[in-house]
Structure 1
């Protein structure tokens, strides 16, 4: 991909949830980038961070003051990066569509109806939606696609994920994406194969199912393992995150990708040319 930016035309980026863990990681990544500039920062009404410079925690000045006025903030930016909650993200996207602001969405936990709303917004502006922005995770998804095609019979599939104790949705969006990629590679739909709960006398494992196991505890950033269990052997494909910085760097790659798009919905496979 050819870069669309230069030192004299920085990409103007707004960050939602700017005072949160992921928001601060995004602010730091933007501050350290050579082609992006933080022009707006959003947080909820009542946040103690309102009125502060978004980069104050770094001992720096970005010029972007954290605010809660959505239209005011987005009018100063060409791109929004959002890792918040579904309801908030949808409200943000409605204004992005209205103003023509392009959006990089890392929020997870959307319902099918909410995903349809995002697709509708993508007819008005460019949206990159992915449950995980990590370059490594998306390469892992490609590996899973390859493995699923080769191991389409006689292998039981289990997806095990672990995250910090504050995560509110389960299984993780990344785990669900892994299941979707595997199911699609085998010509099926995840909704027809997923098993999310096991308790009590479950009986033997049903053939052709994809099982999920969830761990929540401590400060685990994100661990995902997909197990292909056959007779006499098993294959495990694992990705472990030790820092949210990988998500921030992937988000900036998505911003650069969207710079050359006008409308449409994309994912990290598009950004990384993994189709």
Structure 2
């Protein structure tokens, strides 16, 4: 499959180029950079620190979609919306791992999924998706006597909080409980907050150093506590998951898919 990489000169983009160039059944059809970037026109393999691939970095997302079977996007929420429209227009599959999407931006992805395969996941690692499944099942098995708290830590440069993965884990817990997350999400605690509200799902955010990503979900009640955790050692787990998702879209019909679909969970 011809795989295009949006933001191929970025941190995740470079890893996607490197791993994509090594993956059987995949060839890199192109990559884009910001207009006016000094990386424009340079070989995407050289940008990634591997050998020349004979593919220059371009500035036109539309051209990338025309040249590709599937495009992978780990850039910004705004770009995800624009790329969803391009995917539908050029009948190109789309894989989005960008976090921090607003409801309207997710709706844009869902709308594109009416015409092409769209895989969206705030975290594309196998371990996190297994964790999400476990959290949903445990939440379904335990009643509101068990308080649910989601704790996450990331590097100092991360711009959104709570992380997309933390919110996805909260949504998994809410699905297990048969409730909507938003009315029950407690994202901030400061000052005299009073006792914890029964049935809420709490979030705590830590930032510092170069932590790739750590997530824990805690089920706590009187006298006992269950903790489920996942720690990411490097970003390659996300890149590998995205490439796996991209290859999975081959032959798939239009739809709005998740990594659970890709992994058969």
TM-score over 0.5 (shorter chain): yes
SS of 2:44's equivalent in the other structure is coil
Alignment-derived partner of residue 15 in structure 1: 5
2:29 is aligned to: 39
Instruction: Tell me, in whole angstroms, the C-alpha distance in 2 between the residues paired with 1:104 and 1:152.
Output: 35
CA distance in 1, matches of 2:104, 2:187: 21
Could you tell me how far apart the structure 1 residues matched to 2:140 and 2:50 are? 50
Query: What SS does the corresponding residue of 1:270 show, helix, strand or coil?
Result: helix
- What is the Cα-based RMSD across aligned positions, in Å? 1.0
Q: CA deviation at 1:58?
A: 2.4
Given the two structures, how large is their TM-score scaled by the length of structure 2?
A: 0.97
Secondary structure of residue in 2 paired with 1:226: strand
- TM-score when normalising by structure 1: 0.93
SS at the partner of 1:201?
coil
Aligned pairs for 1:26-175 (under 5 A) are 26-56=16-46, 57-175=48-166
C-alpha separation between the residues in 2 aligned to 1:192 and 1:265? 25
Picking from 233, 254, 261, the partner of 2:245 is 254
* Superposed CA offset, 1:211-258 (max 9, x none): 100111111111000111111111110000011110111112111221
1:182 equivalent to 2:169? Answer no
Structure 1 residue ranges, 4+ long, deviating more than 6 angstroms after superposition: none
SS in 1 for 2:243: helix
Q: Deviations over 1:131-170 (max 9, x none)?
A: 1000111011111112111222311111000111111111
The answer to whether the 8 A contact 2:80-2:105 is kept is no
Supply the distance in 2 between the matched residues of 1:102 and 1:152 (Cα, whole angstroms): 40
Residue pair 2:85, 2:108 contacting (<8 A) in 1 also = no
Go from structure 1 to structure 2 and tell me whether the alpha carbon gap of 1:59 and 1:266 turns closer, same or farther (over 3 Å shift).
closer
Q: Look up the SS of the partner of 1:80 in the other structure.
A: strand
In the alignment, structure 2 segments of 5+ residues that lack a partner are: none
- Equivalences, count: 264
CA contact (8 A) 1:39 1:63 kept: no
CA distance in 2, matches of 1:89, 1:64: 23
Q: Which structure 1 segments of 5+ residues have no match? A: 1-10
Deviation string 1:56-101 (CA, Å, 9 cap, x unpaired) is: 1323112221111112222211100001101112112211111111
Q: Aligned partners of 1:89, 1:119: CA distance in 2, in Å? A: 11
Instruction: Please give the secondary structure, in 2, of the residue aligned with 1:55.
Output: helix
